[in-house]
Amino acid sequence: MNAPSRLSPALLEQLSTIVGEQRVKTDDDSLKTWGVDWTKHYEPRPSAIVFPASTEEVQAIVKLANEHQVAVTPSGGRTGLSAGAVAANGEIVISLDRMNKVLSFLHADRLVHIQAGVVTEQLQQYAEQQGLYYPVDFAAAGSSQMGGNIGTNAGGIKVIHYGMTREWVLGLTVVTGKGDVLHLNKGMIKNATGYALHQLFIGSEGTLGIVTEAEIKLTRQPQDLKVLVLSVPDFAAVMPILHAFQQRIDLTAFEFFNQIALEKVLAHGHASRPFDTESPLYVLLEFEGRFEAVVDDAMQIFEHCMEQGWILDGVMSQSQAQAEALWHLREGISETIAPFTPYKNDISVLITHVPAFIAEIDAIVAANYPDFEVCWFGHIGDGNLHLNILKPADLSKDEFFEKCKVVNQFVFETVQKYNGSISAEHGVGMTKKDYLHYTRDTVEIQYMRELKKVFDPNGIMNPGKVFDL
């Protein structure tokens, strides 16, 4: 890493005055740790890491950055997969690690007011203590922060029933790129007073400002969750299974993964094969089995799908421990393929188009990556597919990524053909901004640029992410 710091000693001293001398880091280890997210495409090169403890301190830092024309990058749990939190060009990284408090809870409203540095799992546990539930869930829940989830409109494994992060945010406190503090929507469900500005910040990846606090709604806890893992012969069988179950049961999850994904999880040593039958694909679905009639319905649907040849084998959880073990077959994939430096695509289309879309993408992958291991998994019940190409041991990271990028055009042209998204839930960041035009047209992107100028006229907020000005 290049030695820091583009920042003058005077500016570093001013930052120390705002947050405290021990809360400004410029050593190499800190710059490498807080200047990067889970992507491996870019080297972190921030100038400094600062750790504010309040909205007022964030505001002071942003105003100082405007005064000195220095870019800032907000940093949460750094679990992003599109380089949205990577500081590669001398930015000041504003870490929200210290802003991790639950500020208040309104029981009648089922509304919790939090700082943006609250970890997802921390919020889930707090909700449980109140007898309630925060349903946005994914493999990185133990380290991702709510500010980052809001910045990328995180999705996860329960979207088919509960929706994205956007559905659960009823208010935001933000520091804009100009350094103004805005208190948006203030937790209200009904508010018909003009533009819903808080919605603009959800999914904006820190390009308009920094989320410092949020009002999050909670819901009732699901009860007696049942998990089925099913062995499926091919992609063509997946959607009929989904339709058959959805006609009679409200599903809380509908996931899929292929044989290679399962093999990687099993090889990791912390999971067991759910049944002896092997197949190209597996489906995991979840539903509330509060009533015996619902469980009976599920078994009848399972038997119907077996008769149709859509399912080859399957198992239903009989306990909470077994349900968690079955979920690990799906949730353990990201961790177990990480050592293979996967090249990730996070794409989506309308559920109606999934069968045809998958057939075309699968053909592209088979034709162009015949010698690479291809790991499919994702939230197929909401049209979201994760395509992961695993790096062979004999290729360098740079060589591998270049080979993968060649096929991006074909994949994203297919996404565009079906009016889909090049990024269903991971954001755009730097890794996907060159492909934004496959999902957003030229006029729409220009409106986005103009919106950024309103909130961030000096262009200091997370520059180079989503699009270039």
pTM above threshold 0.75: yes
Note the pLDDT tens digit of each residue in 41-87: 789 999 999 999 999 999 999 999 999 999 999 999 999 989 999 99
| pLDDT at residue 270, as a whole number | 81
| CATH class for the domain made up of 341-442 | alpha beta
Q: Determine whether 183 is exposed, middle or buried from the number of CB atoms within 10 Å of its CB (0-12, 13-18, 19+).
A: middle
- For residue 5, whether the previous peptide bond is cis, meaning omega lies within 30 degrees of 0, is yes
| DSSP structure string for 340-351 | G--EEEEEE--G
- What is the CATH topology of the domain spanning 9-95? 3.30.43
| CATH class for the domain made up of 102-220 | alpha beta
Helices (H), 158-276: 159-162, 197-201, 238-246, 259-267
Please state the domain extents for the chain. 9-95, 102-220, 225-334, 341-442
Is 5 a residue whose pLDDT tops 70? no
3-state secondary structure of 169: strand
Q: Is it true that 102-220 and 341-442 share their CATH fold?
A: no
Domain 225-334 has CATH 3.30.70.2190: yes
Is 2 a residue whose pLDDT tops 60? no
Tell me the helices (H) and strands (E) count for the chain, helix number first: 15, 18
Longest CA–CA separation in the chain, Å: 74
Is 3 a residue whose pLDDT tops 70? no
Q: Can you tell me the distance from the alpha carbon of 253 to that of 251, in angstroms, rounded to the nearest whole number? A: 6
Q: Where are the beta strands (DSSP E) in 259-412?
A: 281-288, 313-316, 343-348, 373-379, 384-390
| pLDDT at residue 139, as a whole number | 86
Is 334 a residue whose pLDDT tops 50? yes
Note the pLDDT tens digit of each residue in 143-154: 999 999 999 999
Note the pLDDT tens digit of each residue in 424-461: 999 999 999 999 999 999 999 999 999 999 999 999 99
Q: Can you tell me the distance from the alpha carbon of 77 to that of 143, in angstroms, rounded to the nearest whole number? A: 6
